[in-house]
Structure 1
Amino acid sequence: MALHVLHYRHHGRAQWGVVANGAITPVPGEFKTTAEFIEANPVERLAVLSDPMLSESEVQWLSPVTANQQFICQGANYRQHMIESGMDPDVKKFNMIFTKATSCIVPADSPVVKPNEVQFLDYEIELGLVLKRDVTSRQTVTDGNLHDYIAGAVIVNDYSARDIQIPQMQFYKGKSYRTFGPVGPYLCLFERHDMPNLKDLDLTLTVNGTVRQSDSTANLVYGPAETLTELSGVHDLRTGDLLATGTPAGCALTIPSPEKQRAAAQLPEAEKWRLFLKMQEERPQYLRAGDVVEAHIVSRDGSIDLGVQRNVVVDEAE
């Protein structure tokens, strides 16, 4: 059975614990990083812990992915999101990979700070996968051996400054402002028989109670096994690293139709981006101070429930 782990602070001390029905059973030991925790605590060891000692309401959430780990992301990995991003899913035959700065990682209940220079702040709910082992050579990862590579899953919200990311062509900067990467609240650790549930998780994101994004991981274009196989050929991965697997349709971002893009290509660069920004100004979906964003990922049978992220958008202090 999947186990839900919380990284938390209690009486000034960072700890890890197994969570069930709002009660925490602390895990003995000191683990400063996600890698240290995973390497020292196989699911079988955690499953025999007993005697809950704390209520979740007594503790402060921390991110279950620590800032020393890598933060790797997939882009446009749901068919409908490809379409709304101006891509033809029948033509795009490559896996889009980028990274976020780990300095953007914050606990799941943190405020999201909208920088003063950012006008178009967007949301992106994503299933995050946490690595179980180091990968330092090309591997063939399959659904059959995926459990050897994936320790568990978390909720990620890939907040994005669209006016930085797209006109400036800076994915890294536009997606890496501090607080733009809330993770958690829980790290759900899997046993081998839990792995098929990765293909049956429902993702839901709301803004001020209104559903903006809703989809299933059954609709991922590039799944975890083929993505890890591809990444292993070009990039070293470490225990505890985070792979965010892409977001469903429903973002605030709107992209011109292919016809309009072809027409815009004939315009001077400044005019092209002026028209793009004007199009975004007409989208009320972009986040503003005071907006409340909630993200939830759960399996249909209820055996996996990654909890709820709740972020309030705040303006950057002058």
Structure 2
Amino acid sequence: MPVSIIRYAEQGVPRWGVLFGRLIAPLSTDAPSTGELLSRHWDALWAATPSQAVLPLERVQLLAPVTRQQQFICQGINYRSHIAESGLRVENFPFNTIFTKAPSCITAADAPVVRPAHVQLLDYEIELGLVLRRALPAGTRVEPGELHQWLAGVTIVNDLSARDVQLPQGQFYKGKSYRGFGPVGPTLVLLSAEEWARLPELHMRLAVNGQPRQDAYCAEMIHAPAATLSELAAMHDLEPGDLVATGTPAGCAARAPGKLAMFVLRHLVSDAGKWRMFVRKGRANPAYLRPGDRISATIRTDDGAIDLGEQTTRITAP
């Protein structure tokens, strides 16, 4: 049975617990990071029982279950539907696109997010987040049936993106790393080996002001977790608690122009002119996030056996 880990503040002090419904079973640890919690208290996380759940969720302040000491690694264009809406061709991207977000952008699942004053094209991207259970040594080959050996669990990530920074400047890190641009949680859901096999069944949904925007299953990933972990292990070190966001499906605010417009832009307009037109058109697109908008994001299996909870993010002005 999945175990829902929650990080919260009680009277301003960060704590860890296991969530049972709307009640928290507090854990007797002051682990300062997600990595230390998973490395030193793994058995205790699985041993918590509903009878120990005595603290109402409403009495505490929610914190992100992935702390800011961890790496925040992302996969780009990992869903065919998102590639298509971006005006790209799947066959042109046979490789796994990897980038990072600043860990300082991580925030709680219900925390308000400030849209910076200079950002007009703020976009949303629901993603499944994978959290490392243990260090991944260089050269490790991870097989699909071995995910439980290397991964602790899953969480919801919203890869908020300033498209008018990311795309015209070619700055993924810069356009995606403003403070608050990484809502994570509300929970980190630990999975058994059998439950990891159900990863493709996880159903991602995101709505803005109650309007459905994204709706897809994790089965649609192009580069699955085992292959991605193997590739990352060949590049650099991964540590317990590190977060890997696995890409977003179609439904984002950003859209590619039509074929005729693409031809004109590619052959008759300079790069600078192209991006000025992109930003100008984007400002008239009501799908981009504005102060006052409310985002709801959920990931769960359709039978509810694995449920990562719900993110409720409000966009605010500076």
Structure 1 and Structure 2 fold alike (TM over 0.5): yes
1:1-318 maps to which residues of 2 (within 5 A)? 1-42=1-42, 46-49=46-49, 50-257=51-258, 260-266=261-267, 267-316=269-318
**How far off its partner does 1:281 sit?**
2.7
**Percent identical across equivalent pairs?**
47
Secondary structure of 2:156 counterpart:
strand
User: Aligned AA for 1:17?
Assistant: G
CA RMSD of aligned residues (A): 1.4
**Alpha-carbon distance change, 51 to 251 in structure 1, aligned in 2, over 3 angstroms:** same
CA distances 1:41-86 after superposition (whole Å, capped 9, x unpaired):
2257533444212011111101100001000001111111110012
User: Aligned AA for 1:122?
Assistant: D
> Distance between the aligned counterparts of 1:17 and 1:88, measured in 2?
44
Tell me if structure 2 keeps the 8 A contact 1:254–1:279.
no
> Distance between the aligned counterparts of 2:283 and 2:203, measured in 1?
30
**How far off its partner does 1:263 sit?**
3.4
Secondary structure of 1:166 counterpart:
helix
Tell me if structure 2 keeps the 8 A contact 1:126–1:246.
yes
**Alpha-carbon distance change, 209 to 45 in structure 1, aligned in 2, over 3 angstroms:** closer
Count of matched residue positions in the alignment of Structure 1 and Structure 2: 316
> Distance between the aligned counterparts of 1:44 and 1:78, measured in 2?
36
> Distance between the aligned counterparts of 2:26 and 2:280, measured in 1?
52
Tell me if structure 1 keeps the 8 A contact 2:64–2:184.
yes
Tell me if structure 2 keeps the 8 A contact 1:80–1:248.
yes
User: Aligned AA for 1:283?
Assistant: N
**How far off its partner does 1:12 sit?**
2.2
Structure 1 residues without counterparts, runs of 5 or longer: none
User: Aligned AA for 1:291?
Assistant: D
> Distance between the aligned counterparts of 2:134 and 2:259, measured in 1?
42
Tell me if structure 1 keeps the 8 A contact 2:18–2:45.
no
TM norm structure 1:
0.96
Secondary structure of 1:167 counterpart:
helix
User: Aligned AA for 2:78?
Assistant: N
TM norm structure 2:
0.96
Tell me if structure 2 keeps the 8 A contact 1:3–1:47.
no
Secondary structure of 1:144 counterpart:
helix
**How far off its partner does 1:284 sit?**
1.1
User: Aligned AA for 2:297?
Assistant: A
Secondary structure of 1:19 counterpart:
strand
Q: 4+ residue runs of structure 1 moved beyond 4 angstroms?
A: none
Tell me if structure 1 keeps the 8 A contact 2:74–2:99.
yes
Tell me if structure 1 keeps the 8 A contact 2:82–2:249.
yes
**How far off its partner does 1:194 sit?**
1.2
> Distance between the aligned counterparts of 1:248 and 1:115, measured in 2?
25
User: Aligned AA for 1:179?
Assistant: G
**How far off its partner does 1:160 sit?**
0.4
> Distance between the aligned counterparts of 2:195 and 2:278, measured in 1?
44
Identify the range of structure 1 (210-219 vs 90-99) with the bigger mean alpha-carbon deviation.
Answer: 90-99
**How far off its partner does 1:40 sit?**
1.9
Structure 2 residues without counterparts, runs of 5 or longer: none
> Distance between the aligned counterparts of 1:298 and 1:169, measured in 2?
33
